[in-house]
Each structure stands twice: as structure tokens, then as C-alpha cells.
Amino acid sequence: MRLAALVIVLLSAVCSFGQASEKLNKCLTNAETQSELNKCASDDAARADADLKASFKELLTVLNGDPTATAKVKEAERLWIRYRDAYIEAMFPAVDKQAAYGTEYPMDVNLLRAKLTREHQSAIADLKADYQPTI
């Protein structure tokens, strides 16, 4: 019963971000154990990372070999990764994370990672659309 309630809470929380994938929702709905929920979130974070990587490659193509823009975008991406990791660490600051946050910790981290990654992917799409090459 507790697991069913957790899935309902998770689905409503994830859906409230408007970024949950259909695959994630289906996986969370069908999960019967915390381990399965953790796997759902891990897979979703991996999909978000793959989508971000593809968007970043597209952005580099749009930059069309502009060395200054390419260097700046690559540096911004490195800094964003550091920011993302620091943000997640700030949200879960305990040293012994498993003891502090329980078995839900891996799921919570991966759901947050996917959310942040999708938000960043949206920013990259905006940058790609707004890019103005130097003349």
C-alpha cells in the first residue's frame, strides 16, 4: 500500500514539472519495488542525458566552426555540469546519504538530474535558435 501511495505521489510530482516522459510515467506506474522505481528514474536520467548530448551536438553544428563561440559554449557546458552536480549535492547535503534519505535517495537524485537536464536542454534549444554568427 505504501508503495502504491509513493508511486501516486511521484507521478503527480513528476507530472507537475511538465517534463516527465511517457516512458517514465509508465515505468513508475508498473514498478512494484523501490528498486524498480530507482531503475525507472535512472533510465529516465540516462534518456535525458542522451537527449542533451544530441542537442549539444546540434548546437555545435549551428555554430559552424566559429572557434570563439564553440570555445565559449563548451566552457559554459562544463560549468553547467558543475552547477548541476553542486545543485544536486546541495539538495541532498548529508554525508551518509543512504542513512539520511533512505532507499528512495537514488530515485530522488535521478528524477532531479533528469529535470535539471531537460531544463538545460531547453536552454540549449533557445541558444541554438537565437545564435547570431559574428560577421
Q: What is the pLDDT of residues 80-131, one digit of tens each?
A: 999 999 999 999 999 999 999 999 999 999 999 999 999 999 999 998 888 8
Distance CA 23, CA 29 (A): 10
Grid cell in block for residue 108? 530522488
Q: What is the pLDDT of residues 47-80, one digit of tens each?
A: 999 999 999 999 999 998 899 999 999 999 999 9
For 63-135, where are the alpha helices, taking DSSP H only? 67-91, 97-101, 105-130
- Sign of the Cα torsion 62, 63, 65, 71 reads negative
Q: Are 64 and 131 in contact (CB under 8 A)?
A: no
Q: Are 52 and 120 in contact (CB under 8 A)?
A: yes
pTM over 0.85: no
- Residue 9: pLDDT over 50: no
What's the domain range around 84?
A: 2-130
Is 28 part of a structural domain of the chain?
yes
Q: Are 65 and 134 in contact (CB under 8 A)?
A: no
Is 135 part of a structural domain of the chain?
no
Torsion angles phi and psi, residue 21, rounded to 5: -80, 155
Is 112 part of a structural domain of the chain?
yes
Is 93 part of a structural domain of the chain?
yes
Q: At what angle do helices 67-91 and 105-130 cross, to 10 degrees?
A: 160
- Residue 37: pLDDT over 80: yes
Q: Work out how many domains the chain is built from and give that number.
A: 1
CATH assignment of the domain containing 28: 1.20.1270.180
DSSP class per residue in 5-30 = HHHHHHHHHHHHTT---HHHHHHHHH
Grid cell in block for residue 28? 513508475
Is 77 part of a structural domain of the chain?
yes
Is 64 part of a structural domain of the chain?
yes
- Spatial CA neighbour of 111 closest among 31, 54, 55: 31
